[in-house]
Structure 1
Amino acid sequence: MGGEWPDGWTRMPLADAGKWLSGGTPSTANSKYWGGDIPWISAASLKEFRIAHSDRQVTPLGASNGSRLVSKGTVLFVVRGMSLKSEFRIGVTEREVAFGQDCKAIIPADGIDPHFLAHAVQVRTPEILAMVEETSHGTGRLDTERLQELEIGVPPLAEQRRIVAVHAVVERRISALERVRAKLKVAEEALSAEAFTKAGLLWPVTRLENIAAVAAGVTLGSEPVGDGTLELPYLRVANVLDGRIDTADVKKVRILRSQYERYALRKGDLLLTEGGDLDKLGRGAVWDGRIAQCLHQNHVFRVRCGEKMSPDFLALYTSSDAGRAYFQRVGKQTTNLASINSTQVKQMPVPLPPLAEQENLLGPIGSARSRLAALDRQVSKLRVVQQGVMEGLLSGEGTSLAT
């Protein structure tokens, strides 16, 4: 995006789009700073575009001692954290909030709608992620000076608001589908819980490494060149969601041809994430083979089951309360980051009922998951449409769509 903007639009570096602010963390040793009614937004809690809630809250005293308060209509985005390795989180505040040092804020300049500004930045996610550097702790860091140089096109305010309205129309449809999905997910989780409480105590238990092969994937960085190499799609943490694989945005990596079998996925492989946010630890789904010759990144473990274990049953267990409890117990945890290693995955204790019993338990759960998968496909298609429309509108092309 960029190039020539339509008449009436202003070319503007992000540095000039508003007032930039940094956040901070009040001392956790002072009880007078925490437990108030002001949401404190961090890299871990900034998960929604409309920012109004957080699992941690500060008092006015805490906000004025180490953090920073911003009002409704402020653009917030993550500049440091594990999530930056796969996604760029940005949103607009819907109330007064405080925020931490892992985020930056922009108070939009006069004549710039905050939602338009957030969308104009969000649509440039591929470019922004390309700016992310890895710190010594393994987390991502976004150089804000480089980000400030990114140029956007700013139309008159009325047109900004029409563009925001187009986005909102698609977002409402997506939200309606996601509400239906949430209800189905609750039903599916209830069926899953029942499956393990009914007969789980009667099943033998074994270590995962006894019934499956666990492997890490391709490490990104210096890629080979020349003859004897292949450029192939690969799945990263952002593609492996809780109970499903999202292939709306799949990257490619070049490897040696001799490494293909080591990193290749097969239909039926269970994929588990190495870490990130605590709630993502060990999340996973079974690969359905929808992309031929697909690889996986090193932050995604591939679990290939043997003859005694159904991958769908194993996925059901790893996502159960017992499975999640194991990952959270053994995972290495810091303030905003949790991770597991391959040894911990291999040593995971798993129930081992007969295959026939595994399949019987999966029947009703499979039906629920099929409906969930259909909804996921609809949402993914709408996201692709939404991205394409917004790229066109925010570049000044197809502005008639916003009228």
Structure 2
Amino acid sequence: MKGTTGRLRLGTEALADLEIPLPPLAEQHRIVAKLEVLFFQLDAAVDSLKKAQAQLHRYRRSILKAAFEGELTRESREGHSDSWESINLNEFITLESGSRPKGGVRGILEGIPSLGGEHLNTDGGFNFEKIKYIPAEFFESLNKGRIYPNDIIVVKDGATTGKTSFVDNNFPHKDAAVNEHLFIVRVDPKVAFPKFAFYYLFSSKGQQQILSDFRGATVGGISRNFPLKVDIPIPPLTEQEQIVSEIERHLSVADEAEATIDAELKSAERLRQSILKHAFSGKLVPQDPNDEPASVLLKKIQSEKTPQQPKQKKRTTKAKIAASGKQLSLPFN
């Protein structure tokens, strides 16, 4: 299959050369009927799995909501209900962004990883496919934009503005930086446990507050003032760590369930292809020796075809029209 503009194209010659296994017409009807039954059942199973995926997404959001309303640690907080206070994010963080060398990073195939918005995942982690690099000398010259453990990374502009990820101990690069499209939020650990602050910014409430600073139309984004729009409920540090532990315990259950669902969805697609393979190799339905072979039916169809003579067009010359001497008039009155 070729295309002149980089697109794949199926030519008529290639299509004409395709060979299709053709069972008797009666068997074709049995195959189609069986396929429809099996695919109906398979589609119902896939639909149930996708609904379960959506429920897991809602479950994750509900866990974060409960966490920052104090529900996950209510029992351990008996007698200390007034120990939480709302603190503006701007009061206990530093904020910085990154940059890239003049002229960009195209063509730089090695060096220090430079992360952009496309490298943040929706689950709070990172995607290191198609990573870009900056020269080591440029990285060494940076005063801002270097990534360190416990940093919170926030997309500052574009379609994924507000997307948030956390740099934990599993981050694979010792040296890395952000580009000019990301903010680094660095938390004062004397006020807030960094991962506690991350989970709040990652929650629906935190995302809503971050995006309240969104401005611009074509390529909008958030400004350096977005922390002023974010107020975080802050319990004592020991309770913050307990909350993070509870969040991760619940989320790990959801992650295991989602991994099972993903495996089942892939299995369903493999089963679909296996059903089709059986259908077109004569193994899906019983074969009846009394069925009329497709080759016999094709011969009948060919014998019934008769060549049709093309109709001759009437030839009317302008001279004949003029000779009639009649003119066409319209009844305007």
Q: Using structure 2 for the length normalisation, give the TM-score.
A: 0.54
SS of match in other structure, 1:342: coil
Q: How many percent identity over aligned positions?
A: 16
Aligned to 1:328: 211
Aligned to 1:272: 154
Q: Structure 1 residue 180: deviation in Å?
A: 4.9
For the aligned residues, what is the CA RMSD?
Answer: 4.5
SS of match in other structure, 1:369: helix
Amino acid of the residue matched to residue 129 of structure 2?
D
Cα deviations by residue, 1:275-318 (Å, 9 ceiling, x for unpaired): 333xx432212123432122222212111222121222112211
Residues 192 and 320 in structure 1, CA contact (< 8 A), matched pair in contact too:
yes
Cα deviations by residue, 1:204-244 (Å, 9 ceiling, x for unpaired): 2333233222111234761489xxxx722232212213332
Match for 2:132 among 245, 252, 255? 252
Greater length-normalized contact order (CA 8 Å, ≥ 6 residues apart)? 2
SS of match in other structure, 2:129: coil
Query: Do residues 198 (structure 1) and 70 (structure 2) align?
Result: yes
Note closer, same or farther for the CA distance 1:154–1:251 as it changes in structure 2 (3 Å cut).
farther
Q: Structure 1 residue 260: deviation in Å?
A: 5.0
Question: Structure 2 CA distance, aligned partners of 1:159 and 1:301?
Answer: 57
Q: What is the aligned length?
A: 229
- What stretches of structure 1 of length at least 5 have no aligned partner? 1-8, 14-148, 161-171, 382-402
Question: Structure 1 CA distance, aligned partners of 2:46 and 2:154?
Answer: 26
Q: Structure 1 residue 333: deviation in Å?
A: 4.1
Question: Structure 2 CA distance, aligned partners of 1:151 and 1:248?
Answer: 28
Cα deviations by residue, 1:2-29 (Å, 9 ceiling, x for unpaired): xxxxxxx3x312xxxxxxxxxxxxxxxx
SS of match in other structure, 2:184: strand
Question: Structure 2 CA distance, aligned partners of 1:150 and 1:245?
Answer: 34
Note closer, same or farther for the CA distance 1:198–1:290 as it changes in structure 2 (3 Å cut).
closer
Aligned to 1:263: 145
Aligned to 2:197: 314
Match for 2:187 among 305, 308, 318? 305
Residues 239 and 246 in structure 1, CA contact (< 8 A), matched pair in contact too:
yes
Aligned to 1:12: 3
Residues 97 and 144 in structure 2, CA contact (< 8 A), matched pair in contact too:
no
Aligned to 1:342: 224
Equivalent positions of 1:165-314 (< 5 A) are 180-198=52-70, 203-219=84-100, 222-223=103-104, 231-255=111-135, 256-259=138-141, 262-277=144-159, 280-288=160-168, 289-292=170-173, 293-307=175-189, 308-314=191-197
Cα deviations by residue, 1:149-185 (Å, 9 ceiling, x for unpaired): 445464745999xxxxxxxxxxx99999876543333
Cα deviations by residue, 1:129-157 (Å, 9 ceiling, x for unpaired): xxxxxxxxxxxxxxxxxxxx445464745
Residues 158 and 221 in structure 2, CA contact (< 8 A), matched pair in contact too:
yes
SS of match in other structure, 1:192: helix
Amino acid of the residue matched to residue 215 of structure 1?
E
Aligned to 1:363: 245
Q: Structure 1 residue 356: deviation in Å?
A: 0.9
SS of match in other structure, 2:199: helix
Residues 3 and 9 in structure 2, CA contact (< 8 A), matched pair in contact too:
yes
Note closer, same or farther for the CA distance 1:375–1:194 as it changes in structure 2 (3 Å cut).
closer
